[in-house]
Amino acid sequence: MALGDAIREARLAQGISQEKLALLADVDRSYLGRIERGDNNVATLTLLRIANALDMTMSKLLHRADL
């Protein structure tokens, strides 16, 4: 759940809606919601697309999640 929390915190800090982030990352909005809630594990490529959409590196996002 830490990764989902880190994604949500980064998204909210940038004032981006879940729907907009999903569009930017080219993932389904409901899937992004499940990732943020910790209901789904996220594939590496999807995590990379989410990090890029948040204008951050995947390692920075993982660091925010203390992973």
Specify the pLDDT at position 1.
66
Q: What single-letter DSSP state applies at residue 33?
A: H
Specify the pLDDT at position 59.
95
C-alpha–C-alpha distance, residues 8 and 14, integer Å: 10
Specify the pLDDT at position 55.
96
Architecture of domain 2-62: Orthogonal Bundle (1.10)
Domain ranges of the chain: 2-62
pTM, two decimal places: 0.91
Whether the CB-CB separation of 22 and 29 falls below 8 Å is answered with yes
pLDDT in tens, 4-61: 999 999 999 999 999 999 999 999 999 999 999 999 889 999 999 999 999 999 999 9
Neighbouring C-beta atoms of residue 59, cutoff 10 Å: 10
